[in-house]
RNA sequence: GCGGCUAUAGUUCAGUGGCAGAACGCCGGUCUGUGGAUCCGGAUGUCGUGGGUUCAAUCCCCACUAGCCGCCCCA
């Protein structure tokens, strides 16, 4: 019989690696809290329509990468509902915003999430079919300031603070690090005008370009800008620029975002070709990449503004901006930086009963020490003392020998592995030395 | 979804058409309570799965699966 394995594109996270994951997640919670974000937890699956409408029917994510199934109808009269494992979380958050009428508070909603997402792509390093994102959204009625360029800059500054807190500095001339690229794809009105102009220009040029571009020119013209084929680059440079199609408000918005970033001393580059793959993005889009540790999958996180998404989903006007961090990629990056290598800490003490008659007393001692907050590992009385020492040295900083004498007298024999010093002490003294 | 590379011990990896190897780790060392880079000994395993060629396949061939790299796309 063949043994069962985690399915393609999924994996188990085990200690001590999970320690690093917890570090990343708790750091996100700590930093986001400083910016007054609250946590939202949305369901892991949603009505398929949510993603089709929100992300865009024609996007790759929706058209070929979703885990979708027909839910069982409970009664003959009921229609089976099409459900989908969430491929990203922004649509779900906006759905919740609409459903709970959060706009009626009149306040800006600042929400973050941490959780698994699912896309049926070909797995490779840093890309899994179940992957984890840490994301945040700032959304609310325009009267709450949700449309302000200050929000864009604040979110970007928060991301920089988060990466810095994790020990990841921005790249500079000599050292690798992260890089921030930003762009504006215009308002909901600008974007179609630009796409139309792009289509027009591509009608002539596209046949001379690479195969992929010929296809993209038809299906998703913005993607042509992303082409990496060297021969196509001059042709792409000659295409209409999004900046020339922004209306005054969008241009002013982008200028204001940059001014706020400059004020914070944030380094970034404007990349006019940075268009995100999801339909809901408007105006500001951005991406953080990292030079080291990730192969081709060098995007650490991405995001942007989505002023029209709520309305696309049937809700009130609710401009917003958000991002999603690829936690799998962030962890990979930290591991390659050795910034995350200091994991695998030891227990405070290892209790070694000598003879299995001492087992009950050992468990009682462990219970009491743990109640005082100590991290305790308990061996087994059938272990020879030599083995207890070997195991204890691997797992803990101190060993407590608990033989017949110790149990009778209540005086423990304690050896510290770092100093090699061994002495008798009471339980109270042991607690004091561990502090 | 497409192309390339890979799959051998718990781990990292050698290797051969004829009994399967190293290092690290693991277990044990003249049985009575002392670990760390000492020393001695021991076990590692359907050689990814299923077919085929052959007297004989871990090795050659085919398919499948998985991982990695690249493409597409994206976090």
| Nucleotide with smallest C1' distance to residue A394 CA | B35
Q: Do A253 and A373 lie in a common domain?
A: no
Is A300 inside a domain boundary?
A: yes
Number of domains in chain A: 2
CB atoms within 10 A of CB A98: 19
pLDDT at residue number A4: 76
Strand B: which of residues 108-127 in chain A lie with Cβ below 7 A? 119, 121-127
CA of A428 to C1' of B4 (A): 65
The answer to whether A252 and A270 have CB atoms below 8 angstroms apart is no
What is the residue whose two structure tokens read 């001590």? A16
**Beta strands A320-326; A130-139: pairing state:** antiparallel
Tens-of-pLDDT digits for all 435 residues of chain A?
Answer: 456 788 889 998 988 888 889 999 999 999 999 999 999 999 999 999 999 999 888 788 888 899 999 887 777 777 788 999 999 999 999 999 999 999 999 999 999 999 999 999 988 888 999 999 999 999 999 999 999 999 999 999 999 999 999 999 999 888 889 999 999 988 888 888 888 888 888 888 877 777 777 777 777 787 788 776 667 777 888 888 888 889 999 999 999 999 999 999 999 999 888 877 678 899 999 999 998 777 777 889 999 999 999 999 999 999 999 999 999 999 988 888 765 444 557 899 999 999 889 999 999 999 999 999 999 999 999 888 999 999 999 899 999 999 999 999 999 999 999 888 899 999 999 999 876
Q: Is the CB of A133 under 7 A from strand B?
A: yes
Q: Is the CB of A232 under 7 A from strand B?
A: no
DSSP string for residues in A44-110: SEEEHHHHHHHH-TTSHHHHHS--EEEPPPSSTTSPPPEEEE-S-SHHHHHHHHHHTTGGGG-S-EE
CA of A9 to C1' of B50 (A): 23
Strand B: which of residues 306-335 in chain A lie with Cβ below 7 A? 324-326, 328-329
Task: Copy the structure tokens of residue A71.
Answer: 């839910």
- Angle at the Cα of A298 (from A294 to A304), degrees rounded to 5? 145
Is A194 inside a domain boundary?
A: no
Task: Copy the structure tokens of residue A419.
Answer: 């100093």
Is A65 inside a domain boundary?
A: yes
Q: Is the CB of A417 under 7 A from strand B?
A: yes
CA of A351 to C1' of B68 (A): 43
Domain that holds residue A402: 347-434
Is A342 inside a domain boundary?
A: no
The answer to whether A306 and A281 have CB atoms below 8 angstroms apart is yes
Give whole-number Cα distances, A201 to A205, A221, A428, in Å.
7, 10, 81
Q: What is the CATH number of the domain that holds A309?
A: 3.30.930.10
Alpha-carbon span A42 to A114, nearest angstrom: 10
Question: Is the peptide bond prior to A231 cis by the omega test (within 30 degrees of 0)?
Answer: no
Q: Do A303 and A365 lie in a common domain?
A: no
Q: Do A270 and A331 lie in a common domain?
A: yes
Q: Is the CB of A435 under 7 A from strand B?
A: no
Q: Is the CB of A353 under 7 A from strand B?
A: no
CA of A418 to C1' of B37 (A): 16
Is A257 inside a domain boundary?
A: yes
Report residue A367: phi and psi, to 5°: -55, -45
Q: Give, as one character, the DSSP assignment of residue A155.
A: H
Q: Do A271 and A411 lie in a common domain?
A: no
Q: Do A58 and A103 lie in a common domain?
A: yes
CA of A65 to C1' of B1 (A): 10
Q: What is the CATH number of the domain that holds A362?
A: 3.40.50.800
Is A405 inside a domain boundary?
A: yes
Q: Is the CB of A59 under 7 A from strand B?
A: yes
Is A141 inside a domain boundary?
A: yes
| Nucleotide with smallest C1' distance to residue A296 CA | B70
CB atoms within 10 A of CB A186: 25
Q: Do A134 and A178 lie in a common domain?
A: yes
| Nucleotide with smallest C1' distance to residue A132 CA | B75
Alpha-carbon span A156 to A256, nearest angstrom: 13
Q: Is the CB of A212 under 7 A from strand B?
A: yes
Q: Do A398 and A294 lie in a common domain?
A: no
CA of A342 to C1' of B12 (A): 21
The answer to whether A329 and A126 have CB atoms below 8 angstroms apart is yes
The residue from A337, A363, A383 where one domain ends is: A337
Q: Do A119 and A260 lie in a common domain?
A: yes
- Which value, in Å, is the radius of gyration of the alpha carbons in chain A? 28
Q: Do A277 and A423 lie in a common domain?
A: no
- Angle at the Cα of A130 (from A126 to A136), degrees rounded to 5? 85
The residue from A337, A365, A390 where one domain ends is: A337
Q: Do A185 and A73 lie in a common domain?
A: yes
Q: Do A325 and A179 lie in a common domain?
A: yes
Q: Do A185 and A296 lie in a common domain?
A: yes
Task: Copy the structure tokens of residue A114.
Answer: 């941490």
Is A165 inside a domain boundary?
A: yes
The residue from A289, A311, A337 where one domain ends is: A337
- Angle at the Cα of A227 (from A266 to A300), degrees rounded to 5? 40
């Amino acid at each position: 019989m063949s043994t069962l394995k985690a399915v393609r594109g999924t994996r188990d996270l085990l200690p001590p690696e999970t320690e690093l994951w917890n570090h990343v997640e708790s750091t996100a919670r700590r930093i986001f809290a400083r910016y007054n974000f609250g946590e939202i937890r949305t369901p892991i699956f949603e009505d398929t329509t949510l993603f089709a409408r929100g992300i865009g029917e024609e996007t790759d994510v929706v058209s070929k990468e979703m885990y979708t199934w027909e839910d069982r109808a409970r009664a003959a009269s009921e229609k089976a509902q099409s459900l989908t494992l969430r491929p990203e979380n922004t649509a779900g958050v906006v759905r919740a915003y609409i459903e709970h009428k959060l706009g009626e508070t009149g306040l800006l909603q600042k929400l973050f999430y941490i959780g698994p997402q699912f896309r049926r792509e070909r797995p490779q390093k840093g890309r899994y079919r179940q992957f984890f994102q840490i994301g945040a959204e700032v959304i609310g009625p325009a009267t709450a300031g949700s449309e302000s360029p200050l929000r864009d800059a604040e979110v970007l500054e928060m991301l920089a603070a988060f990466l810095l807190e994790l020990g990841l500095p921005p790249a500079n001339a000599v050292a690798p690090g992260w890089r921030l690229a930003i762009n504006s794809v215009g308002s909901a009105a600008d974007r179609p005008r630009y796409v139309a102009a792009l289509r027009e220009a591509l009608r002539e040029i596209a046949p001379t370009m690479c195969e992929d571009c010929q296809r993209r020119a038809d299906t998703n013209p913005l993607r042509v800008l992303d082409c990496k084929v060297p021969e196509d680059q001059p042709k792409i440079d000659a295409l209409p620029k999004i900046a020339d199609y922004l209306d005054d408000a969008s241009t002013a918005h982008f200028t204001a975002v940059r001014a706020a970033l400059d004020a914070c001393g944030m380094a970034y580059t404007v990349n006019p070709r940075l268009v995100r793959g999801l339909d809901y993005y408007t105006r500001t889009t951005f991406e953080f990449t990292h030079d080291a540790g990730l192969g081709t999958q060098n995007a650490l996180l991405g995001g942007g503004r989505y002023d029209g998404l709520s309305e696309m989903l049937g809700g009130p006007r609710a401009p917003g901006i958000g991002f999603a961090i690829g936690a799998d990629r962030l962890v990979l990056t930290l591991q390659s930086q050795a910034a995350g290598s200091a994991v695998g800490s030891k227990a405070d003490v290892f209790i070694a009963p000598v003879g299995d008659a001492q087992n009950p007393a050992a468990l009682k001692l462990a219970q009491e020490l743990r109640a005082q907050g100590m991290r305790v590992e308990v061996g087994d009385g059938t272990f020879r003392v030599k083995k207890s020492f070997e195991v204890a040295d691997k797992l803990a900083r101190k060993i407590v020998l608990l033989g017949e004498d110790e149990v009778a007298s209540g005086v423990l024999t304690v050896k510290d592995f770092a100093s090699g010093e061994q002495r008798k002490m009471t339980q109270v003294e042991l607690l004091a030395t561990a502090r």
